[in-house]
Chain A
Amino acid sequence: MKYFATFAAMLLLSISAFAQDGKSIYNKYAGHKKVEAVYISSAMFRIMGKLPELEINDKDVNLAPVVKSLNGMYLIECENRELCAKLKADVEKMVSAGKYELMMEIREEDETVRIYTIGTEEEIRGFVFFVMEDDECTFINFDGCIPRESFEKALSKAR
């Protein structure tokens, strides 16, 4: 009985942890009214990484190293106040369960931006971007093994 209870508890924990990632957030909110959802899989990132024009760009920022190291991108844009509040709570659960680190927070007038990362000094394994403004919010999650230097360089130039 004890072993069964422990097993059940671990199963529940793993399910709840599983429920708190980019994929589960995407699955939960995509398809709702006033929600725009975009998902790019690792397979698509592999194809994108092979595009010949990727290396040649008319801007002086090269996203090729970032594209080639990404396993997925989840994007949710919501214009419903109630859903935004729920999404915010889910994102907070996700970053605390996944042990993300808060990289920066910006508060300007009605807008709050939070950026979280998880990884090592050499690479970023997960990146979460969450913006909340009045009735709108945006959630962006990148997954992968992204060399930190390439990522930070691309971020600083890709406006």
Chain B
Amino acid sequence: MTNQEFIDVFVPLKDGLYRVAFHILESADDAADAVQDLYAKLWTRRDVLDGIANPKAYCITLLKNACLNRVRSLQYRNTVALEGSGANDHAWENPPDDEPARKLGAVMRAIHQLPPGQRRVLEMKVLRDMSYEEIQKETGMNYLSLRVMLSQARRKLKKLL
């Protein structure tokens, strides 16, 4: 599935997915986080999404499971906090590290700090896979300024990370 196909098929489902997440998690921030995580996961799987007959049902199922994991994880953390540290079982005290999720979170926070112009151009190039000519047409920027802006965005992200 191409980037644009993914954007055309899956991104419009976001509002419905948010409503499901909000119903389950009963928090606007948590619901938005859950939806963000879901989309990040979907993006990494987009090569295998061509065969999905019903994208909406597929996403809702994934989201429900993700929300379930969140609730379980929160309950586990609350249990550990209530019971205090156990001398015997280190596995309980130290749940497995989710390194990819942490890295993704760090990248998202860095993107959030980019100026809107840089973010927009980066989205067009990286996400929508647009050519420089297409971005030029949409933004009205000239080629050199576009390259400069993209380079600045990448360098800033590198610095923030």
Contacts and interface: CB of A to CB of B under 8 A. Distances in A.
Tell me if chains A and B make direct contact, with any CB pair below 8 A. yes
Contacts of A53: 142-144
Contact of A54 (B141, B144, B159): B144
B148 to A, nearest CB: 10
A120 interface: no
Interface residues of B, number: 6
Contacts of B159: 36
A57 B142 CA distance: 7
Contacts of A57: 142, 144-145
Contacts of B142: 53, 56-58
Secondary structure class of chain B's binding surface, majority of residues: helix
Interface in B6-41: none
Interface residues of A, number: 8
Nearest to B144: A53
Contacts of A58: 141-142, 145
Contacts of A54: 144
A54 B159 CA distance: 27
Interface in A48-78: 51, 53-54, 56-59
B22 to A, nearest CB: 42
A51 B148 CA distance: 13
A54 B143 CA distance: 10
Q: Name the residue in B144, B145, B159 with the highest tally of chain A Cβ atoms < 10 Å from its Cβ.
A: B144
B67 to A, nearest CB: 41
Interface in A19-63: 36, 51, 53-54, 56-59
Nearest 7 interchain pairs by C-beta: A53-B144, A53-B143, A58-B145, A58-B142, A53-B142, A56-B142, A57-B144
Interface of B: 141-145, 159
Given A53-B142, A57-B142, A57-B144, 12 more contacts: A36-B159, A51-B144, A53-B143, A53-B144, A54-B144, A56-B142, A56-B144, A57-B145, A58-B141, A58-B142, A58-B145, A59-B145
15 contacts: A36-B159, A51-B144, A53-B142, A53-B143, A53-B144, A54-B144, A56-B142, A56-B144, A57-B142, A57-B144, A57-B145, A58-B141, A58-B142, A58-B145, A59-B145
